[in-house]
Structure 1
Amino acid sequence: MTQGVGRIGRYVRMVAQPGQGSALAEQLMRVADGLRDAPGCELYIINRTPDEPDTVWVTEVWADAAASDAALSRDMGEAGIGEVLALLAGPPEFVDLAPVGGPGLR
């Protein structure tokens, strides 16, 4: 996702193979831990959907497109992306955003 300058955001919806929602959420938490010190990562939250046990949402906010692109171009095997992909029932769905602000964002 490449946009103009400024903060960018994204919702990512992932559906795990049947019965693998918890495993997907746990693996995504490992990815989140790997991004804890990534430059420009302002928010990377893993969310579960109560009525869809195999669906996991990721909420991301980055300082700018360059920070997001740099994080995605890192050695993602180290972050556990390969394990995430193995758990998916299909490709992730992305919704790109332009964060405006609110509690939790500086």
Structure 2
Amino acid sequence: MSKIALLGKYLVNEGERDVMVNILLKAAESIKNQHDCQCFLVNISEDELDTVYVYEVWRNEQAHREYLTKESTQALIKRAQPIIRGIERINTLNLKGGKGTSDSSHFSNWC
């Protein structure tokens, strides 16, 4: 199995973007020492006031699925659900190399 990069988009209720950002930053904090997740970046666009983007790099798809089943992750999901109007996985990519991840000669540590 190869590393995967996920690009996700969360559409939230009007005025709730900062709440969603804080929930996702708590998710990032909760996995800072988890080696299966090598990158978890929360992003916003000044042009999309009710949208939050997340870029994640995982050891593989299974590691991401396992993370989603954890009790702490489920608690954050339940907290976010009332403000989410839509979720889109923009793409799942097979990571080949570059700056941003580690543990291969093709990767350098960034996240």
The AA in structure 2 aligned to 1:22 is D
1:61-100 aligned within 5 A: 61-75=57-71, 76-78=73-75, 80-90=76-86, 92-94=87-89, 95-100=91-96
1:22 equivalent to 2:18? Answer: yes
TM-score, normalisation: structure 2: 0.82
TM-score, normalisation: structure 1: 0.85
**Size of the alignment, in residue pairs?**
100
1 or 2 for the larger relative contact order (CA 8 Å, sep ≥6)?
1
Please state how far the C-alpha of 1:15 moved relative to its aligned partner.
0.8
Gaps of 5+ in 1: none
Preserved contact between residue 2 and residue 95 of structure 2 (Cα < 8 Å): no
Counterpart residue number, 1:60: 56
Gaps of 5+ in 2: 103-111
**SS of 1:89's equivalent?**
strand
Superposition RMSD on alpha carbons, in Å? 1.3
Choose from 30, 37, 41 the match for 2:33.
37
Please state how far the C-alpha of 1:49 moved relative to its aligned partner.
1.0
Superposed structure 1 runs of 4+ greater than 2 Å apart: none
**SS of 2:80's equivalent?**
helix
